[in-house]
Structure 1
Amino acid sequence: MTRSIMIQGAGSNVGKSLLVAGIARAARRRGISVAPFKPQNMSNNAAVTVDGGEIGRAQALQARAAGRDPVIDMNPVLLKPETEIGAQVIVQGKRFATMRARDYGRAKAELMPRVMESFHRLAESADLVLVEGAGSPAEINLRDGDIANMGFAAAANLPVVLVGDIDRGGVIAQLVGTNAILPATDRDRIRGFVVNKFRGDVSLFDDGRSEIVSRTGWQDLGVLPWFSEAWRLPAEDVMDLASLRRGGPIKVAVPRLARIANFDDLDPLVAEPEVQVTIIEPGRPLPGDADLVLIPGSKSTISDLADFRRNGWDIDLAAHIRRGGHVMGVCGGYQMLGSGIADPDGIEGAPGHVPGLGHLDVATRLEPAKTLALKTATYLPTGDIVEGYEIHLGQTDGPDRARGWLGFDGRIEGAASSNGRVMGTYLHGLFASDAFRRAFLARLGAGASDFAYSETLDLTLDELADHLEAHLDLDALLGLARKI
């Protein structure tokens, strides 16, 4: 008998994704087969699934917490912003269309059957499906045709737990205000609430909890103190990387591209004790004392390359290389480092060709077909195994490919300059492989490190589950789940 419950937020970034991951790990430890589900996500930080599609990376982390492989049904609709007003729409793991926001609003009714199909198919493999909302149900202007929050809850007939964020202030207004403006049929779906990100003495908020209960009638499921180890888990938003803990002696500078994508390459470096990662905001120069400049992936490489130049980062990067600094370009960053990018089909805008940064003797041609695959590779200098994934448009070739430094599928992948200080690859996730990360960082002067990234992820998920068990009434929360 499969049961399900939906976790929604009284606002964006209230901690829903982390909460679902923690509940999933806690449920798994109780012997419950659990699966995460998010009807609609908006993120350029995607994960490649075992069934050959892409979903939001937060759902991949939740799948890990649940002890199962990520599959496309865990996030049937993924919106990947390409401009300020439009996004690529991924449906059940594959590209569906590129739409402006207004056009997507009209298309949601067409997508709901696909969302429900994925939900019910996923439910066949689990005892419990934990559903995560997107944004907030308080955005009642978006209720018509909604597939992300109450529209989905109504279609699947699910009870809802609402999460408020006390760290940003006004949590009573968040929760009580949501209760006040929701239509009665939606309001009645909310059975309980959680107050998240509390700092200090929780007992000081006892009166606040009582006020929320008296004004809403919802069950108080607990106040969750700030989880200080959250930084060890993959970030869903690049802005979450901006306030990182101070790290080690190796300085890695990462320019924040406007359309940065698949920046999970940074997560193992953020957690690595030998490394200090600094996100360089637009308008700031690349630091002169960086050991490595890492240019991450991009959803719109040509546009981000233009922004790179507008920020003067091309000049800073050239100076960094003249000083003997190292550079790594991953996916879109790899394409930027070459001599040029050809877009004959107008995939990223008007058809044409733009010059690259010119630090690798390779050139890229964008093509409509997307490469999307999990990969196991060999780091050729050491023979170490590297696991990762490819998710990109286009092919890159040129003389510096002869110095490719990864091997898989019977071919050489990547490129490097003649002195080996500038490197590029299409393989995301390679820094999660401990042996490769140690070998690469040793080239930058890092000391020996026994840090194990994958093991640390699972330990942190267990600590998160312990945190929830200690501060929430998980028995009551799980008891609210309804048979589907």
Structure 2
Amino acid sequence: MTSKTLMIQGTTSDAGKTILVAGLCRVLKNHGINVAPFKPQNMALNSAVTADGGEIGRAQAVQAQACGIEPTTDMNPVLLKPNTDVGAQVIIHGKALQDMDAKTFHNYKSIAMKAVLDSHQRLSDQYEVIMVEGAGSPAEINLRDRDIANMGFAEAVDCPVVLIADIDRGGVFAHLIGTLELLSESEQNRIKGFVINRFRGDITLLQSGLDWLEEKTGKPVLGVLPYLHGLHIEAEDAINNLSVCTENKEKTLKVIVPVLPRISNHTDFDPLRLHPQVDFEYVSHNSPIPPCDLIILPGSKSVRADLEFLQNNNWAENLQKHLRYGGKIIGICGGFQMLGNSIYDPSGIEGKAGFADGFGFFDMQTEIHRTKQLHNKTGRLFLNNTKVSGYEIHAGISKGPVLEHPAIITNNGSDGAVSSDNNIMGSYFHGLFNETEACNAILEWAGLREVESVDYLALQEREIERLAISIEEHLDVSRILKLI
């Protein structure tokens, strides 16, 4: 099978590359085209477990959903998970290789490019079209040498590029022209058109600018996507503070999550943020901890460092106070490990080798191992034997008496723990709230009465379709199809 490849690059991070690729994937699927997503190099702490047992960026899993296919490690062959301000865990073809600082990884890129091209070739053998997402901006001068994420890849596979810019940030024409000017002549020729994202207002007032851009560059504007209010497509990495206000204040459950320096897989909380009866809030380190019904300790890429961060910000005494006032606590993955007595990292997998005392709510010890646990799982929640599904991504192995009272019974064992007073639960399951009945059961356990059922999985599909409809309406899809 001969596939065609189209790459979406952006003038900045968060310009709309992830969204546009996801939407185009669904558009092509709706046109009967066998399409797959691809991102050569991703840097993100939101990740997913693939059907072939590896780890990729969460955004590529969402894009695979838009294509109607299962995600595989070939869709994101290089994943960087930052664990300090200067270093990251390098994951190649779904498996953790080692931690590298920026300079070491830069020197490694020529090897990483082979992994990228091998994955692209395997996808090309299986699918008619490959929709590629770039990373950041192609005009980062200091990253141009040995680039595998943007034009370096596009040049290697000889594919056309569409450049997207976010007008909501301001300076959209400067972004587009400036990016173009910083590219080489061959790279400039590779860009076949522009997309302007997140436009609000009267499109006729923008037309003179679009005409000038086309005349200035000789390249077409392929369309202007409107600002889609409330659009929910799972975030690639940055926390989206979107929340849904409810008019039924007397029925509202207050849920808070601390924003850890290395918070991971915060997409776990999207079903709660979007639930009409949940008042959800991310709490930053410099914000007071508000009264609430449920505190959730999230996953972390550097559990001991983030545990120390919470302890230094008085979360230990605040968690104790929260429990005294009848509140509930959930720990997910790294947050679950924090609830135990101790965390031991003898090999320095997540930072310096060492030992840390946990919050001590669970009689449990966790030891960090080099081999990650990567599994898609299903089971039954301790609450009414409700079905729950999710995925595990963690290096720690937990042991202790509390595990004799699991939160979830799986087909081949158990997961997590529940305190003897039933006020604290912990689990390694990411995606704990995705299943409607499981989410309902947990919200009821946390104190919400007469829970309104929200089908989050159906909501995801509706939002992808909504995005695809907008792309069909506002972009020159026929022209884009001709590019591939």
Shorter-chain TM range is over 0.9
**Aligned residue in 2 for 1:329:** 331
1:31 Cα deviation after fit: 0.5
1:109 Cα deviation after fit: 0.7
Q: What's the TM-score, normalizing by structure 2?
A: 0.97
Work out whether residues 301 and 350 of structure 2, in 8 Å CA contact, stay in contact via their aligned partners in 1. Answer: no
Q: Give the fraction of aligned pairs with identical amino acids, expressed as a percent.
A: 45
Q: What are the residue-to-residue correspondences of 1:69-84 with 2, within 5 Å? A: 69-84=70-85
Change in 2 beyond 3 A, CA 1:356/1:204: same
1:412 Cα deviation after fit: 2.3
Structure 2 distance, partners of 1:128, 1:412, is 41
**Aligned residue in 1 for 2:117:** 116
Change in 2 beyond 3 A, CA 1:398/1:285: farther
Structure 2 distance, partners of 1:98, 1:346, is 10
Work out whether residues 330 and 427 of structure 1, in 8 Å CA contact, stay in contact via their aligned partners in 2. Answer: yes
Structure 1 distance, partners of 2:174, 2:75, is 32
1:292 Cα deviation after fit: 0.6
1:384 Cα deviation after fit: 2.1
Q: Does 1:318 align with 2:317?
A: no
**Aligned residue in 2 for 1:355:** 357
Q: Secondary structure at the match of 1:431?
A: coil
Question: Which among 290, 293, 316 is matched to residue 291 of structure 1?
Answer: 293
1:432 Cα deviation after fit: 0.3
Task: Name stretches of at least 5 consecutive residues in structure 2 with no aligned partner.
Answer: none
Q: Secondary structure at the match of 1:44?
A: coil
Q: Does 1:300 align with 2:302?
A: yes
Structure 1 distance, partners of 2:473, 2:412, is 50
Question: Which among 250, 253, 256 is matched to residue 250 of structure 1?
Answer: 253
Q: Secondary structure at the match of 2:429?
A: coil
Task: Name stretches of at least 5 consecutive residues in structure 1 with no aligned partner.
Answer: none
Q: How many pairs align?
A: 478
Work out whether residues 242 and 273 of structure 2, in 8 Å CA contact, stay in contact via their aligned partners in 1. Answer: no
| Cα shift readout 1:98-129 (whole Å, capped 9, x = no counterpart) | 10011111110111111000001011221111
1:245 Cα deviation after fit: 3.1
**Aligned residue in 2 for 1:16:** 17
**Bigger Cα displacement from structure 2, 308-317 vs 364-373:** 308-317
1:452 Cα deviation after fit: 0.7
Query: Which contiguous aligned blocks of 4+ residues in structure 1 show a shift greater than 4 angstroms?
Result: none
1:446 Cα deviation after fit: 3.8
Structure 1 distance, partners of 2:384, 2:164, is 48
**Aligned residue in 2 for 1:237:** 237
Q: Secondary structure at the match of 1:145?
A: coil
Work out whether residues 295 and 328 of structure 1, in 8 Å CA contact, stay in contact via their aligned partners in 2. Answer: yes
Q: Secondary structure at the match of 2:244?
A: coil
1:448 Cα deviation after fit: 2.6
1:181 Cα deviation after fit: 1.7
Structure 2 distance, partners of 1:472, 1:67, is 22
Structure 2 distance, partners of 1:419, 1:270, is 27
Please give the root-mean-square deviation of Cα atoms over the aligned residues, in Å: 1.2
| Cα shift readout 1:11-40 (whole Å, capped 9, x = no counterpart) | 110011011111111110111111000000
Q: Does 1:400 align with 2:399?
A: no
Q: Secondary structure at the match of 1:460?
A: helix
| Cα shift readout 1:359-389 (whole Å, capped 9, x = no counterpart) | 2222211111111111111113322221111
Work out whether residues 407 and 426 of structure 2, in 8 Å CA contact, stay in contact via their aligned partners in 1. Answer: no
Structure 1 distance, partners of 2:449, 2:467, is 30
Change in 2 beyond 3 A, CA 1:91/1:346: same
Structure 1 distance, partners of 2:37, 2:381, is 33
Q: What are the residue-to-residue correspondences of 1:128-207 with 2, within 5 Å? A: 128-207=129-208
Work out whether residues 233 and 267 of structure 1, in 8 Å CA contact, stay in contact via their aligned partners in 2. Answer: no
Letter in 2 for 1:239: I
Structure 2 distance, partners of 1:25, 1:351, is 45
1:239 Cα deviation after fit: 2.5
Structure 2 distance, partners of 1:291, 1:279, is 14
Work out whether residues 361 and 417 of structure 1, in 8 Å CA contact, stay in contact via their aligned partners in 2. Answer: no
**Aligned residue in 1 for 2:278:** 275
**Aligned residue in 2 for 1:425:** 427
Q: What's the TM-score, normalizing by structure 1?
A: 0.97
Change in 2 beyond 3 A, CA 1:179/1:345: closer
Letter in 1 for 2:425: M
| Cα shift readout 1:425-458 (whole Å, capped 9, x = no counterpart) | 1111121011111111112224232311111111
Letter in 2 for 1:101: A
